[in-house]
Amino acid sequence: MRNFFQFQERQTSYKQETLAGITTFLSLAYILIVNPIILSESGMDQGAVFTATALSAIVGSLLIGFLANYPIGIAPSMGLNSFSRTEFVSEWGSRGKQP
């Protein structure tokens, strides 16, 4: 793993990467919990949003880690989700239905 992710060239260590991994995990766990709650307020199915959020984070993180050789985690943007939900609710009503 040290050679694959180029620890020497990137001046990092197992300890630093472990701490970064824990931080990333906690951030992604927060997004996985809060994102479905935010988007369900606009009428979206909470279970479907949870599944879509989890799958997009898993696939995106694996692709960027192994194909781009860049060890970071990615997930849907919380700010954009909140903005979209607020705009849809204010434009289409409290349950996100088109007029």
Q: What is the pLDDT of residues 44-61, one digit of tens each?
A: 889 999 999 999 999 999
DSSP-based three-state secondary structure for 56: helix
pTM above 0.75, yes or no: no
| Dist. CA 74–CA 64, nearest whole Å | 8
Question: Where would I find the beta strands (DSSP E) of the chain?
Answer: none
> Which distant-in-sequence residues (6+ apart) come within 8 Å of 36 by Cβ?
46, 47, 49, 50, 53
What pLDDT score does 78 carry? 81
Contact call for residues 31 and 57 (beta carbons, < 8 A): yes
pLDDT tens per residue across span 23-42: 999 999 999 999 999 888 87
What pLDDT score does 81 carry? 79
| Dist. CA 73–CA 54, nearest whole Å | 12
What pLDDT score does 90 carry? 67
